[in-house]
Amino acid sequence: MSDNSSAEGLDKVKRAGLAALAVTGFFAQNAIALPYAWKHGPIAAIRAFFLFGDIRNNPQGKFAVLDLYLLGLAFALWSLRESVRLRIFHWWLVTMALTVSVGVGTAAPFFYLVRDRTLENA
């Protein structure tokens, strides 16, 4: 197998993995969030999932929340720059909608997949 075909094979595996992560994240995160929202209402869900509810009441939870906020901010800034550079800003908007409506665990693999395909087609 040549180096080029090896790289193409790895690209296919990478893309399949990114797609699987995005789809899995979408369904897994919604499987947690939607039943909570149906049971407690949308306002309680927003408080629990965006403000992280009781998880902030201990040092481990505070650390995890801060880490997630910093990760989300870093991802948003990096992906914004990439979207402008690659002229895929419309996909960045979709990514940010996924970030706030589902989560960065769904949005990041989605954006990486779009970015990867854009680079391949350039």
Smallest Cα–Cα separation from 29: which of 110, 112, 106? 106
Lowest-pLDDT range of 15-24, 59-68, 80-89, 100-109: 59-68
- As a whole number, mean pLDDT of residues 9-38 equals 91
- As a whole number, mean pLDDT of residues 99-118 equals 93
* Predicted structure pTM score: 0.80
pLDDT over threshold 90, residue 34: no
- Distance in angstroms (rounded) separating the CA atoms of residues 45 and 80: 27
Tell me, what's the pLDDT at 53? 66
Using one digit for the tens of pLDDT, what is the confidence trace for 39-98?
A: 998 888 777 776 666 777 788 888 888 898 899 999 999 999 999 999 999 999 999 999
Cβ(21)–Cβ(107) under 8 Å? no
Task: List all residues 6 or more positions away from 14 whose beta carbon is below 8 Å from its beta carbon.
Answer: 116
pLDDT over threshold 60, residue 1: no
Look up residue 76 and give its two tokens.
Answer: 């948003």
Segment of 11-15, 44-48, 106-110 carrying the highest mean pLDDT = 106-110
The runs of H, that is alpha helices, within 1-122 are 3-40, 42-50, 59-86, 89-101, 104-121
pLDDT > 70: percent of the chain: 93
Tell me, what's the pLDDT at 32? 87
Domain positions in the chain: 3-121
- As a whole number, mean pLDDT of residues 12-31 equals 93
